[in-house]
Structure 1
Amino acid sequence: MKSYLDLLRTRGVARIMSAQLLARFPNGMLSLAYLIHIEHIAHSYGAAGLVLAATSIGQAVAGPLTSRWMGAWGMRKVLILTISVCTVTIGTIALAPALPVPIYMVLGLISGLSTPPVQPAVRTIYPKMVNSTQLTPLFSLDASAQEVIWVAGPVITTFVATQISTVVAILVALVFLVGGGLWFVLSPEVGRVRIPRSRRALGAVLAKPPVLLATVTGFLLIGACSAIEAGVVSAFGEKSAESGIVLAIFSLGSLAGGLLLGHVPIGPWALARRIFIVFAGMALAAASVNVWWLAATLLIAGVGIAPALAVMFGIVSSSVRFSETAEAYGWVGTGQLIGAALGSAGAGFMIDRFAAPGAFWVAASLAFLGFVIPTIFRKAAPDLRGRDASPIPDTEPVQTQPS
């Protein structure tokens, strides 16, 4: 723990990590808030699902695109533009009188397209804030800390939406977006780092084996996690205390795993080993829907999640030029978003046919593939044991400027 405290004492690290977590907090709130809000208006979960699908498509398209724009226009300009557009569209969804579902779908698509690229931005900034030996632990700490989003976000949204109103629930998420986004944009570190303009075509970074490996594996890992969430809710009901407790333990397992394994050196087998922990826990979870069994097995599964994400961040960072880092992380994020959508959809289909255990079968299958792929293609993952995980320097000098 001392090393993590030392990291947080490093100039600007605690501030930039807190700001980006606050700015990204709506990621754990808006999907659920949209779901409840649109269902109340249209009286149809199918209609709400269409709006969520449109939002997810927008986010998936925006990931690599807006990340790349940061190299052309600068981080602050892109962040301010996306925050502004996203604020208007989310506010419209919350405050406009009842609209036809296709209009809500268009608004959802625009809000997804304008999702601020905070995560790619901060992943790009981190290597410029700490020395090479601190970078992997910092990625691990960040991956662990983001579990707060997925633990507290849905709880806040459910409480506000059911006890006050769905409009207020969306507006609370909007306050986090604007407040955290402005805090992040105004942080000195965002002004000091300039991403060089990438000279390669959009998507060319996917030709890098580590980036493609992280994108595909992230798709499978997050898809498995989404299927687990759907299965837990199906097993106990969306308003039951058991659902919240089990999912909180799942996230706390990830938090603990990230902190415990953050300093383990990243070798070619690191990603496969961490995802095997996830697979083992999810496979065991499929055996019973007893609340204590699920709590124990998903605690095991959670231990591998944040460490696996940290490995993905590390192998991507060490394998691309600094000018390509934001776009690379954008593609990784897009893979995770698609995985989340398809994992939830696949779980829903299996729940209709086989009840809650069907979702756990989907999750275990995706996690198994997530283990097999980095095992087969382990040579695509760089060996970072005793090696700097920072991005490859560009041939042109990277400028810094006063904030």
Structure 2
Amino acid sequence: MGSYTELLKTSGVARIIAAQLTARFPSGMLSLAFLLHVEQQTGSYGAAGLVLAATSIGQAIAGPLTSRLMGRLGMRPVLTATLVVCASSVIAIGVLPLTVPLYMAVGLLCGLATPPVQPAVRTIYPKMVNSRQLTPLFSLDASAQEIIWVVGPVVTTFVSTQIGTVWGILLAAVMMIGGTTWFIASPELGRVRIPRSKRRFGTVLARPAVLLATVVGFLLIGACAAVEAGVVAAFGHDGAEAGIVLAIFSIGSLAGGLTLGHVPISPWSTARRMLIVFVGVSLAAFAMEFWWLAVTLFIAGIGIAPALAVLFSIVSVSVKFSDTAEAYGWVGTGQLIGAALGSAAAGFLIDGYEAVGAFWAASVLAFLGVVVPALARRWHPDLRGRDASPIPDTEPVPVTPS
């Protein structure tokens, strides 16, 4: 834990982590808030699902596009413009009496304008700490983001059911505005400028490590989404069991990230950490009982944040600084598509085989998440004793006082 204490004492690190977590907190709120609100307004979960799908499609498209724009226009202008559009769209869904097609259109706009906070902060990190601290910082960040997925749904459910669905959406909008404004105002954004990339859009995917991180992220988050659907199907919406089990799943990830974050990254690291996830979700499929799922999913969770930390690190070390934001945008898009397809596959299997079907889907995705990096280990960077910072651009990167 000493390495994390040292990190948090580094100038600006604690502030930027807190700001970006607050800005991204609505990610753990909006899907559930939209689901509850649109279902209440239309009387159809199917309609609510269409709105969520439109929002996810917008986010998947926007990820690499808005991230690349930060190199052309600057981080603060892009973050500010997307914040205005996205927050306005969120508020519109909450307060306007819309038809389902209009809900979908506004949801798509909301997704397209999602502020690219995650690519921005991943780009800033290498300029804030030395190379020795970078991998632990990625691990700390991946662990801390579990707070979003533990607390966000709980807060949304409480506000939406006890006060009203409109207020659940408006609370998410307030968090988005406040957190993103705090992040935009952070001095670190003024000290670092992303150089304009000289390569064509999408070329960064030709980097084997970026493609590997995108594919493994797709499989990992797809498995997690299937697990979430399976847990809800096993316990239903009425009791507290589903929320408690999913919280334990996230706590396992938090514990794993803090415990394994300092372990050096080798070509086998991604496969080994994904193996932990596979073992946990595979064992979970044997019994849909509360304590069994709590224990097995805690085990599975131990591999999640460490695996994400490895993916962030191998992307960082494999691309030029001017391409880092776009690269992380592609990785985020892979994860979003994984979440959508993982949920869809789980839904079909739940209909046919009840809750256990979702865990079958999660097990297959997690198994592929072991196989892919194992087969691709020759393209997996070996960071043992190596600087994890991005490849420098040929021209100097301006660093100006805030």
> Which residue is equivalent to 2:43?
43
> Which residue is equivalent to 1:153?
152
> Which residue is equivalent to 1:17?
17
Q: Distance in 2 between matches of 1:75 and 1:398?
A: 14
Letter of the structure 1 residue corresponding to residue 115 of structure 2: P
Q: Distance in 1 between matches of 2:14 and 2:145?
A: 13
> Which residue is equivalent to 2:217?
218
Deviation at 1:2, TM superposition (A): 1.6
Q: What do residues 51-108 of structure 1 show as CA deviations (whole Å, max 9, x unaligned)?
A: 00000000000000000000000000000000000011111111112x1100000000
1:235 aligns with 2:226: no
Q: Distance in 1 between matches of 2:238 and 2:179?
A: 29
Q: Residues 120-135 of structure 1 correspond to what in structure 2 (within 5 A)?
A: 120-135=119-134
Q: Distance in 1 between matches of 2:3 and 2:138?
A: 13
Deviation at 1:273, TM superposition (A): 0.1
Q: What do residues 104-133 of structure 1 show as CA deviations (whole Å, max 9, x unaligned)?
A: 000000000000000000000000000000
> Which residue is equivalent to 2:83?
83
Q: Distance in 2 between matches of 1:117 and 1:218?
A: 17
Letter of the structure 1 residue corresponding to residue 45 of structure 2: Y
> Which residue is equivalent to 2:8?
8
Letter of the structure 2 residue corresponding to residue 24 of structure 1: R
> Which residue is equivalent to 2:106?
107
Q: Distance in 2 between matches of 1:119 and 1:239?
A: 33
Structure 1: 4+ residue segments shifted above 3 A: none
Q: Residues 271-286 of structure 1 correspond to what in structure 2 (within 5 A)?
A: 271-286=270-285
Letter of the structure 2 residue corresponding to residue 172 of structure 1: L
> Which residue is equivalent to 1:287?
286
Q: Distance in 2 between matches of 1:225 and 1:282?
A: 9
Q: Distance in 2 between matches of 1:274 and 1:7?
A: 23
Q: Distance in 2 between matches of 1:178 and 1:340?
A: 25
Q: What do residues 311-347 of structure 1 show as CA deviations (whole Å, max 9, x unaligned)?
A: 0000000000000000000000000000001100110
Q: Secondary structure at the match of 2:287?
A: coil
Letter of the structure 1 residue corresponding to residue 355 of structure 2: A
Letter of the structure 2 residue corresponding to residue 130 of structure 1: V
State the identity %: 71
Deviation at 1:175, TM superposition (A): 0.8
Task: Report how many aligned residue pairs link the two structures.
Answer: 402
Q: Distance in 1 between matches of 2:370 and 2:239?
A: 32
> Which residue is equivalent to 1:65?
65
Q: Distance in 2 between matches of 1:68 and 1:125?
A: 14
Q: Secondary structure at the match of 2:194?
A: coil
Q: Distance in 2 between matches of 1:397 and 1:235?
A: 55
Q: Distance in 2 between matches of 1:3 and 1:209?
A: 30
Deviation at 1:401, TM superposition (A): 1.7
Q: Distance in 2 between matches of 1:272 and 1:134?
A: 23
> Which residue is equivalent to 1:258?
257
Q: Secondary structure at the match of 1:318?
A: helix
1:55 aligns with 2:55: yes
Q: What do residues 171-204 of structure 1 show as CA deviations (whole Å, max 9, x unaligned)?
A: 1111110000000000000111000000111110
> Which residue is equivalent to 2:384?
385
> Which residue is equivalent to 1:245?
244
Deviation at 1:239, TM superposition (A): 2.9
Q: Secondary structure at the match of 1:104?
A: helix
Letter of the structure 2 residue corresponding to residue 90 of structure 1: V
Letter of the structure 1 residue corresponding to residue 17 of structure 2: M
Q: Distance in 1 between matches of 2:19 and 2:239?
A: 32
| CA root-mean-square deviation | 0.5
Letter of the structure 2 residue corresponding to residue 145 of structure 1: A
Q: Secondary structure at the match of 2:378?
A: helix
Letter of the structure 2 residue corresponding to residue 132 of structure 1: S
> Which residue is equivalent to 1:358?
357
> Which residue is equivalent to 2:194?
195
Deviation at 1:380, TM superposition (A): 1.1
Q: Comparing 235-244 with 195-204, which one deviates more in the overlay?
A: 235-244
1:339 aligns with 2:338: yes
> Which residue is equivalent to 2:325?
326
Q: Distance in 2 between matches of 1:12 and 1:18?
A: 10
Letter of the structure 2 residue corresponding to residue 209 of structure 1: P
Deviation at 1:373, TM superposition (A): 0.2
Q: Distance in 2 between matches of 1:351 and 1:191?
A: 49
Q: What do residues 204-235 of structure 1 show as CA deviations (whole Å, max 9, x unaligned)?
A: 00000000000000000000000000000000
Q: Comparing 231-240 with 298-307, which one deviates more in the overlay?
A: 231-240
Q: What do residues 239-291 of structure 1 show as CA deviations (whole Å, max 9, x unaligned)?
A: 31110110000000000000000010000000000000000000000000010
Deviation at 1:402, TM superposition (A): 2.4
Q: Distance in 1 between matches of 2:347 and 2:398?
A: 49
Q: Distance in 2 between matches of 1:350 and 1:229?
A: 13
Q: Distance in 1 between matches of 2:125 and 2:253?
A: 21
Q: Distance in 1 between matches of 2:268 and 2:238?
A: 40
Letter of the structure 1 residue corresponding to residue 33 of structure 2: A
Q: Secondary structure at the match of 1:401?
A: coil
Q: Distance in 1 between matches of 2:103 and 2:377?
A: 43
Give the gaps of 5 or more residues in structure 2.
Answer: none
Letter of the structure 2 residue corresponding to residue 65 of structure 1: L
Give the gaps of 5 or more residues in structure 1.
Answer: none
Deviation at 1:400, TM superposition (A): 1.1
Deviation at 1:292, TM superposition (A): 0.3
